Structure 1
Amino acid sequence: MKMGINTTLLITGGAGFIGSNLCEHFLRKGYRVVCLDNFSTGHKHNLKDFENHENFRLVVGDIRNLKDCEAAVQGVDYVLHQAALGSVPRSIIDPLTTNDVNVSGFLNMLTAARDAKVKRFVYAASSSTYGDSEGLPKVEDAIGKPLSPYAITKYVNELYAEIFSKTYGLETIGLRYFNVFGRKQDPNGAYAAVIPKFVMQLMQLESPVINGDGNYSRDFTYIDNVILMNELAIRTENNLAVNTVYNTAFGDRNTLNELVGYLKDYLSKYDARIAEVEIKYGPNRAGDIPHSLASIEKAKKLLGYNPEYSLQDGLEKAVGWYWENLR
């Protein structure tokens, strides 16, 4: 499959953390890129490095509006659907909006992609789908019951994608992201992800607060591993590799205590005082699972996935970016 020149991608949520990194990557590879975003959680400054690129087009619109989806998908070969309202805590506080965006918006995008005869629909699924399943590592076909409204919405996405594949012949691939981090991830706001939030606090010599005793563990996944999975998902010609879901992770886990230790080590190279910042502990967060670790064997076998960046590799790069851009 000859891809790049004359291949058009629609990246929904393209002004967000993952979406803007995908836009930048595929423009560099020679693709034409359409970005659909309503800037509710994405930022225009994430587009500044490529907003004037000749192969880039921005569509300001909302996936909850079917007409916006239909306008964005015209002439598109592949969809990389990243638009969603993330955050387990936000979904617990406001399940209605989370469902409206993540379920109704997702269905709008599937419908628009089907009607526009898009070749393949690749979408951001979530490790939260594993719910109360305690087995480690997490294997794609063994999930538990969801623990939050957010997790329910992401599981419903997978069910809708499967139905659209079987009923309408739309090729779909779901990527269950595991704790993605890296450049451009927003450190601000009530629902900021833990890594950029802790980085900003440490740079300001403030004490990060870990939920629980710090022994919960996660499969932290650097953004470049996620970009690789998205590229493999649109490029694969293996019929067995489509109409399914994949864990998108590094395949290792680290505790929150270990994470903060690495952050202090890397940041103290820029400011020695950071090594002495005290870490504080608070209550566990509702809807959080204790441990998360992905099996990536399915992605290795069917997509040829071989992630390059461990947590430590990715953190060193991410910390450097934050120090340069957000200090």
Structure 2
Amino acid sequence: MMVQIENKIILVTGGAGFIGSNLCEYLLSQRNKVICLDNFATGKTSNIQHLLSNPNFTLIVGDIRNLSDCHKAVSGVDYILHEAALGSVPRSINDPITSNDVNVSGFLNMLVAARDAKVKKFIYAASSSTYGDSEALPKVENTIGKPLSPYAITKYVNELYADIFFHTYGLNTIGLRYFNVFGRKQDPNGAYAAVIPKFVMQLMKYESPIINGDGNYSRDFTYIDNVIQMNVLAMLTENPEAMNTVYNTAFGDRTTLNNLMEYLKKHMSQYDEKIASVEVIHGPNRAGDIPHSLASIEKAKKLLNYNPEFSMKDGLKEAVDWYWNNLK
């Protein structure tokens, strides 16, 4: 049962992106007013096309790197869900300056605008990449290592800035460290496509997917509905102990890339039996990748009453069904 939040005014930055558009859709279904701020650098009009006719939905085409756009978007809102960012470790390695401009300077603009507008709470997309070279498993919020990519640095800096804005200006913030989120509307195309939609599209076309390394790297794959639940719980909490901190946003289980491919082939071959015989290729490991990722979700369970509904396998079935029906 998804948690309920009603009759609020909520700004979703990056609201035309994968996670942002899912948040917009859910919040509108709960009778909230939703403002979406997006510059469409990675967001897609198709993700929110069906929302444009909803009188409770407002689209602002703007850029978080422009402070005046941020001020315009936050005017009169109760909560901010800050999803706007340039994701992808490889993208940040190829172009660290743009990643920093969006993820650090843009983030700071949003914090300033949130402070000036006196919003109730600023909830932002943090990242499991913040754990860096820490080998401890499961990942616990207060134990991190050195960042392994420019992207990871930007997301750690976000946490530091959020903390300072609480202590200096009294702005309530909550950071959600997302672990390999997947699900409906996640883009399968482009150089920086996430692994699950990319593999799904390749298998649909009988193309051999390339697994980086031997396939024994593992990830805590997290279905989108678990992420929506965490965002809503973060908005709803009134517990002072639960605010101005960060939470792992995950299922709390890990899956190797080899196992992921096995599950995908098994499920997709129910649609098309030829997919079962598509050959998988192994390539080199990718720069900046951490070998294993597994979240402890005890803190979120204790302080936010988080109870993820979808395991990786359950979420994968939902996601594949969505891709098959929408992209085939």
Measured against the shorter chain, the TM-score band is over 0.9
Q: Are 1:258 and 2:259 counterparts?
A: yes
The residue number in structure 1 matching 2:113 is 112
The residue number in structure 2 matching 1:167 is 168
User: Cα gap change, 1:267/1:3 in structure 2, threshold over 3 Å: closer, same or farther?
Assistant: closer
Q: Are 1:310 and 2:311 counterparts?
A: yes
User: What TM-score do the two structures reach when normalised by structure 1?
Assistant: 0.99
**AA at the equivalent of 1:133:** S
Structural mapping, 1:232-311, within 5 Å:
232-311=233-312
**AA at the equivalent of 2:90:** P
**AA at the equivalent of 1:77:** D
Structural mapping, 1:80-159, within 5 Å:
80-159=81-160
Q: Which structure 1 segments of 5+ residues have no match?
A: none
- 1:107 shift after superposition: 0.1
- Give the share of equivalent positions with the same residue, in percent: 75
User: What does the per-residue CA deviation read over 1:186-236, in whole Å, with 9 as the maximum and x for residues that have no partner?
Assistant: 000000000000000000011100000000000000000000000000001
Q: Distance in 1 between matches of 2:64 and 2:39?
A: 8
Q: Distance in 1 between matches of 2:160 and 2:240?
A: 20
Q: Distance in 2 between matches of 1:266 and 1:35?
A: 34
User: Cα gap change, 1:172/1:16 in structure 2, threshold over 3 Å: closer, same or farther?
Assistant: same
User: What does the per-residue CA deviation read over 1:220-256, in whole Å, with 9 as the maximum and x for residues that have no partner?
Assistant: 0000000000000000111110000000000000000
User: What does the per-residue CA deviation read over 1:117-167, in whole Å, with 9 as the maximum and x for residues that have no partner?
Assistant: 000000000000000000000000000000000000000000000000010
Q: Is the 8 A contact 2:15 2:84 kept in 1?
A: yes
- 1:17 shift after superposition: 0.1
User: What TM-score do the two structures reach when normalised by structure 2?
Assistant: 0.98
SS in 1 for 2:50: coil
- 1:285 shift after superposition: 0.1
Runs (4 or more) in structure 1 with deviation over 4 Å come to: none
The residue number in structure 1 matching 2:217 is 216
The residue number in structure 2 matching 1:30 is 31
User: Cα gap change, 1:118/1:199 in structure 2, threshold over 3 Å: closer, same or farther?
Assistant: same
SS in 2 for 1:42: coil
Structural mapping, 1:33-48, within 5 Å:
33-48=34-49
The residue number in structure 2 matching 1:55 is 56
SS in 2 for 1:142: coil
User: What does the per-residue CA deviation read over 1:13-52, in whole Å, with 9 as the maximum and x for residues that have no partner?
Assistant: 0000000000000000111000000000000000022111
The residue number in structure 2 matching 1:184 is 185
Q: Is the 8 A contact 2:5 2:30 kept in 1?
A: no
Q: Is the 8 A contact 2:5 2:27 kept in 1?
A: no
Q: Distance in 2 between matches of 1:97 and 1:115?
A: 26
SS in 2 for 1:147: coil
The residue number in structure 2 matching 1:203 is 204
**Count of aligned positions:** 325
User: What does the per-residue CA deviation read over 1:299-322, in whole Å, with 9 as the maximum and x for residues that have no partner?
Assistant: 000000010101100000000000
**AA at the equivalent of 1:220:** F
**AA at the equivalent of 1:248:** T
Q: Which structure 2 segments of 5+ residues have no match?
A: none
- 1:3 shift after superposition: 4.8
**AA at the equivalent of 1:224:** D
Q: Distance in 2 between matches of 1:238 and 1:33?
A: 24
Q: Are 1:4 and 2:10 counterparts?
A: no
SS in 2 for 1:49: helix
